[in-house]
Amino acid sequence: MQVQSMHFKQRAGQKLADVRLQKNLRKLAEKFVTARSAAIAELDDFEATRDAAVERRNRVLATLDVWLQTFERNATAHGATVLYAQTHEDAARLIVEIAALHGVRKVTKSKSMVSEEIGLNHAFGAAGITPVETDLGEYILQINDNEAPSHIIAPVIHKDKEEISDLFARVHGLPRKTEITQLTREAREVLRGHFLSADMGVTGANFLIAETGSAAVVTNEGNEGMCTIMPPKVHVVLTGIEKLLPTLEDLATLMRLLPRSATGQQISNYLSLLTGPRRASEVDGPEHMYYVLLDAGRSALIGGEFQEMLRCIRCGACMNHCPVYQNVGGHAYGWVYPGPMGSVLTPAFVGLENAGDLPNASTFCGECAVVCPVKIPLPDLMRKLREQQVERGLRAKRERVALTVWLALARRPRLYALIAALSAHTLSRLAGKTKLLHWLPFGSGWTKGRDMPAPAGRTFRALYRMREQKKSNVGD
């Protein structure tokens, strides 16, 4: 997927002006935020479970190489082949080579954000292989000229039923339907033929279990099972190297948090544990199973100040609760991962110089950190990225000059207090009786879209001194 994150500001403006998108995005709060709140309230030991999840994820990341070796050994013992990809291009090439090895012409895919990272559908197309998305949301996007997902768990949250009805009627060439059950059935009937005729299935993995060499895949539609146990003779699991958990007990802990944080469900509709290809005694399953484990910048985070980001379990809770995401949607972020987690992951994976304003796409309200089930300090990480942007000269010159001036003043308290008092007084006079500033020197970007409340006319220090003096006079 081509990186467009450097255009965040321009895209955000377009999304804010899109009335239909604004209406559709309100579903986030109505659906996911409310549901998560209710699901979390049912857990008496929610905070203890979060602490346990953090400890288990940290334990893996501290010795990731050891757990990868353990996973590879056990997966291989069950007949699977484990391959490692250093880059996005490596991963796409490996999967296309697997397809060529087995003479694959059609691939059914279950939802996988890592496949978006590596541009897998494009790679399949270039090799003459037909990929078919089978998650309903991803299927809708694919038949809409390969549109990118807008959300990591609800990829078409930006579309309403009417848009999808029009799309189905145009692409399927059938009478337009308006009921969700009718639309779902129509998609199911189209996809069923692809499930039966595909040669290979590609899925992601929510977690990899080291002690069993298994992939744990969570879905609500059951399409993952159709991609792995129907005719496809080859199953490829594509995921990042950080998705490891040591044991099934660790998986049980994380599964108490994942559905609740993602969709507000106590449990997901389907949880599959896939361990190796079909045995001689089994009636279904693939004949060959491969794991393609992607690095693409992940190992570079180990031991660094952004390592905590690797705890992420891709639940989407941070974006559901983010006031920025709630207003601009996922496409404004310009790459695979939107919202607060994307504002950290995108610079980490594609380079800070390509991430534009993403570290600044936050109100710093802190809600993303509050709802993160594995306690990733997202605002702190975005603040560190902002520091790096300034240090590397990646911010606009006027912004760097302003910060340099502010730093010089902050180191001289008396001068700082004097400038602050003069500024507060001047701005208060400029605002007049309305006490609102319609224009701000050097800050027109703020007042262009809204008025700024004027300062009270006196600084906090001045007001504090007045209060203390008043108390002293009363004491006398």
Q: Does residue 400 or residue 48 have the better pLDDT?
A: 48
pLDDT of residue 29: 77
The per-residue pLDDT for range 453-471, each reduced to its tens digit, is 888 878 888 888 889 988 8
- Above 90 in pLDDT, residue 82? yes
Left, alpha or beta for 329 (phi > 0: left; psi -120 to 50: alpha)? Answer: left
Q: CA-based angle 71:74:80, to the nearest 5?
A: 95
Over residues 286-298, the mean pLDDT reads 97
pLDDT of residue 21: 95
pLDDT of residue 476: 63
Strands 288-294 and 81-85, by their bridges, are: parallel
pLDDT of residue 475: 65
- The span from the CA of 53 to the CA of 106, in Å, is 38
Q: Tokens 């809600």 belong to which residue?
A: 367
- Above 80 in pLDDT, residue 404? yes
The per-residue pLDDT for range 124-148, each reduced to its tens digit, is 999 999 999 999 999 999 999 999 9
- The span from the CA of 124 to the CA of 44, in Å, is 47
- The span from the CA of 122 to the CA of 112, in Å, is 14
**In terms of C-beta distances under 8 Å and separation of at least 24 residues, what long-range contacts does 190-196 make, across chains too?**
191/132, 191/134, 191/139, 191/223, 191/226, 194/106, 194/108, 194/132, 194/134, 195/108, 195/134, 195/226, 195/227, 195/230, 195/231, 196/230, 196/231
- Above 90 in pLDDT, residue 90? yes
- The span from the CA of 148 to the CA of 119, in Å, is 11
Over residues 311-316, the mean pLDDT reads 97
pLDDT of residue 439: 82
The per-residue pLDDT for range 293-311, each reduced to its tens digit, is 999 999 999 999 999 999 9
Report pTM.
0.90
pLDDT of residue 320: 96
Beta bridge partners of 453: 436
Per-chain mean pLDDT for the chain? 93
- Above 90 in pLDDT, residue 35? yes
Q: Does residue 409 or residue 472 have the better pLDDT?
A: 409
- Above 80 in pLDDT, residue 231? no
Over residues 167-184, the mean pLDDT reads 95
Distances (CA, A) of 142 to 108, 342, 458, 469: 12, 22, 58, 69
Cα maximum dimension of the chain: 95
